[in-house]
Structure 1
Amino acid sequence: METSQEYQVDLHWKEDENAEVSSLLFKDKIQIAAHYCLSHVNNDIWSAEHLFIASVASSYMTAFLRTAKNKGINYKSYKSSIRASVAISDKVSEITDILIRPTIVIIERSQINKTLKIFSLCREHSLVLNSLKIRIHIFPSVVVQ
């Protein structure tokens, strides 16, 4: 069964200010730097590149947690660190590689191998990752508590 869904984000920029994104669904607005990410201006505002990488990280997480729940994994927490490599030249700048280091805390030692397998499976279930033509490297960790 195929369904569709649409997402809308509104962006507003005024002269000499940072941009702001919002959505009708949320009351909070997000400040976004209105400068090129490599210009190193006002580093305390999220850039479009930071938001992009956060989108990759959160999409992978939701795919993992949904798959783990469906496969009966009992987990306590999930965290990840994600890095993107950017190639910069006079003609083009592009993200070439993304490295995701997710860590999951599980309850049962007997579920370690099953959990590790889910890390590789869930990439295919991540909407954002499936949309990318970037090399993605995933180095998962499983902790039993």
Structure 2
Amino acid sequence: MATEHYYQVNVNWNKNRNGILTSNNLDEKITIATPPEFPKGEANIWSPEHYFVAAINGCLMTTFLAVAENFKLDFIDFESNAVGKLEMIDRKFVMSEVILNPVVTISNEDQKALAIKVLEKSEKACLITNSVKSNIKMNITIKVV
């Protein structure tokens, strides 16, 4: 596997405080806007702040899937909720903290410790969490059904 990869993203202003995100190698176009908490922000449109938190949460999931496969964790479901805390620090807005709340469902109680280990390794290996300065916290829930 190559040790360098490049991801190109384009944004074009659309109207008001929103634009369209595209990538040359993806078909989908995504609307992005200033969030409603800011002047002239737009409700019901994903914002850079949402995408920031989503990138961390999505990376946790994709890394978990790879690590779980490597550790042969037999899981039934994975879901995660994430909350980013945006605050003013030194007169600048900063996403100071992201709290990840992953829930892994397994059928075998004996794999509970392994599921926790896989989640912890996934958070440490996630390239997005390794690339941001936000404090990342994780509240793990393992369900056995």
Q: Assess same fold via TM > 0.5.
A: yes
- Aligned counterparts of 1:81 and 1:36: Cα–Cα separation in 2: 19
Question: Per-residue displacement from partner, 1:100-127 (whole Å, max 9, x unpaired)?
Answer: 0000111222100111112211122101
Q: How many residues align?
A: 144
1:36 and 1:101 map into 2 onto residues whose CA distance is: 23
Can you list the C-alpha shifts for 1:42-81, whole angstroms capped at 9, x where unaligned? 2111111101110010001111111111101011211111
Give SS of 2:119's match.
Answer: helix
**TM-score, length basis structure 1:** 0.90
- For residue 118 of structure 1, what is the aligned residue in structure 2? 118
Distance 2:25 2:140 in 1: 33
CA distance in structure 2 between the aligned counterparts of 1:15 and 1:119, rounded to whole angstroms: 41
- Deviations 1:84-109 (Å, cap 9, x if unpaired)? 11212682111111100000111222
The within-5 A match list for 1:18-29 is 18-29=18-29
Cα RMSD of the aligned pairs, angstroms, is 1.9
Which residue matches 2:72?
72
> Which protein has the bigger strand share?
2
Q: Matched residues in 2 for 1:17 and 1:114: separation? A: 46
Deviation of the 1:16 alpha carbon: 3.3
Is the contact made by 2:35 and 2:42 (CA closer than 8 Å) also made in structure 1? no
| 2:43 is the alignment partner of 1:39 | no
Which residue in the other structure is 1:95 paired with? 95
**Which SS does the other structure have where 1:113 is aligned?**
helix
* 1:134 corresponding residue in structure 2: 134
After the TM superposition, which segments of 4 or more aligned residues of structure 1 sit over 3 Å from their partners? 14-17
One-letter amino acid matched to 2:139: F
CA distance in 2, matches of 1:136, 1:112: 22
Aligned residue for 2:28, secondary structure, equals coil
Change (3 A) 1:97 1:90: closer
Quick check: 1:99–1:138 contact (8 Å CA) kept in 2? yes
- Asked if structure 2 preserves the Cα contact closer than 8 Å seen for 1:37 and 1:48, the reply is no
Q: Distance in 2 between matches of 1:127 and 1:137?
A: 15
